[in-house]
Amino acid sequence: MSQLAAQDAPAVRSPVTEFGRRFLRQKVAVVATLMLVAIAATACLAPWIAPFDPAAADYDTILAAPSARHWAGTDAFGRDVFSRILFGARISLMVGFVSVGMGSLAGILFGLASGFYGGWVDGLFMRACDVLLAFPGILLAIAIVAILGPGIDNVIIAVAVFSIPVFARLVRGSTLALKTAVYVDAARALGAPDHILMLRHILPGTLPGVIVYCSLRVGTSILTAASLSFIGLGAQPPSPEWGAMLADGRSYIGVASHVTLYPGLAIFLTVLAFNLVGDGLRDALDPKLKRP
Amino acid sequence: MLSYLVRRLAGILPVLLVVSLLVFLFIHLLPGDPARLVAGPDATPQDIAAVRTDLGLDRPLPEQYLRFLVHAVRGDFGQSLKNHLPVAEVIGLRFWPTVILTVTAMAWSTLFGLAIGILSAMRRGRWPDYAGMVLAVSGLSFPAFWLGLLMIDLFSVRLHWLPTGGFEGWKSLVMPSLSLGLGVAAVMARFSRSAVLDISREDYVRTARAKGLAERVVIGRHVLRNALIPIITMVGLQFGFLLGGSIVVETVFSWPGLGRLLVDSVAYRDYPVLQAEILLFSVEFILINLLVDLAYAAANPEIRYQ
């Protein structure tokens, strides 16, 4: 190892290679990445690999314990819990990625404009963030769902909205630091218009922080969406969403504990994988970035 | 300090006003006519018209908002649609159970989180550090409601040690506070570890070691005392997290607090209660953040003069 390092030392490495080396050195994060790939693959392939139809009721085998035929047992309608978990992965990953995608995109735009223009634009956006942050996360989501009505689509919107201020503040901070950088001044002197300055010269510099937060936020968003479904405001009953499955299984605790055990385990492992990857990315991209 | 306090209060007022405006508009953003919502599904057109006049819904919006604001300051949010009690009374009944739950959860999670974080930092890179941080990242990823269900399964259904829910004595407090506090304990552990490590890198810590002070004096007097400032801030910020978490945990354990009331009022479409609760939660949250900032400014003079 030391020999390798000595050989590599004089070579100039691009930031991307350097990041790759630092990320691969963290075994936990690499394992978590593989876990995520596996979860994503099962989600994509669910219709082909699931042993049963997730919606097919079988009233001869209700609440059956895990067995060779039903790996995670069956629920109160005789549906195969394992197949439902596989299909549930599609919902959870979709909610996580879409909500964080929308929230981070809006947050990045607000943050860039805020930091770049300063003045009243900054004042307006940052006060808007203060207001959004004045509602404890899930409360804002509940209020939005109360207005739009329960359902997974509205949960995605709700979770996206409460991700916006986090990203806006983060990007604003890095933009403030970067807009006075020499290379940005140089680009400005060459006559680059504002949108080029922001998108081509400042934006890439803010991305390391954004990527780390995205990974951590996807985990949080999946957890929040599952919580909302659990309290009855998210995905509605026939859906194999993990939080909704837990809500269904609540009544059978002690009778058929597997109905609550496995969907919960699926949420836990998925969120854990996102958190571990996020930690790994943070350490590889910027050791100084801290999780709030 | 006084000028800092005044500036902070002045900064909060607009946020409070906008929050109250949003909460006021909330009932107008809901699909359907607010008067019809309040009058109920079986109301005749005459009833709805009466309710509209009664609640001032026929007045222009700015006037309605002012009226809402004046009533809100007096604690008057109208009547619950579910049981026709005054909203303030309904919320008052649920207030203390939530306070008891969140404070208990805060107390144990801060204690354990700090202990794990400080221990991890002191044994950095060795097994207590790894064990502590594995626990912390797991706690961070653990769905609180799942932990609640697992505990009910084990301690209530199988072992019969603790009640499955309700609000009777300390026994019914154990599982809800554990479920609620887990995430906070995890955040506290991670945060206090990094706070202690940050301070350990300071010059004055090196000086303290160099002049031959015992390790426990270095840690106790020089590191911990300084690391406590950011940690106290974090404790305050976590209260907001607990307020949100209580919504889910109270549902799991049928805890008669504000969180379950909120979920019930969404389900029953009890909008006056929902409106008052959202306002109460946000005001609490804003005030807690203010207190945190003030505590921080009291501890660190640099902040006051920025």
Q: What are B91-129's pLDDT values in tens digits? A: 988 889 999 999 999 999 999 999 999 889 888 888 888
Q: What are the beta bridge partners of residue B86?
A: B79
pTM of the model: 0.87
Hey, are the CB atoms on B194 and A130 less than 8 Å from each other?
Answer: no
CA distance B247 to chain A (A): 8
- Is the model's pLDDT at A258 over the cut of 80? yes
Hey, are the CB atoms on B146 and A142 less than 8 Å from each other?
Answer: no
- Is the model's pLDDT at A105 over the cut of 90? yes
Per-residue pLDDT band at A291 (split at 50, 70, 90):
very low
What percentage of residues in chain B have a pLDDT greater than 90? 17
What's the pLDDT at B71?
A: 85
Interface confidence, given as ipTM, is 0.85
Q: Which of B158, B266, B282 sits opposite A254 (nearest CB)?
A: B158
Give dist(CA A212, CA A209) in Å, integer.
5
B189 contacts chain A (CB < 8 A): no
Cβ atoms of A278 and A215 within 8 Å: the answer is yes
Which residue do the tokens 């409106």 mark?
Answer: B275
CA distance B221 to chain A (A): 25
List CB contacts (< 8 A) between B26 and chain A.
143, 146-147
Read off the DSSP letter of residue B79.
B
List CB contacts (< 8 A) between B288 and chain A.
none
Degrees (nearest 5) of the Cα angle A114, A118, A121? 60
Hey, are the CB atoms on A223 and B143 less than 8 Å from each other?
Answer: yes
List CB contacts (< 8 A) between B144 and chain A.
227
| Chain A residue with the nearest C-alpha to that of B250 | A231
Percent of residues in chain B assigned helix, strand, coil, to nearest 5 = 80, 0, 20
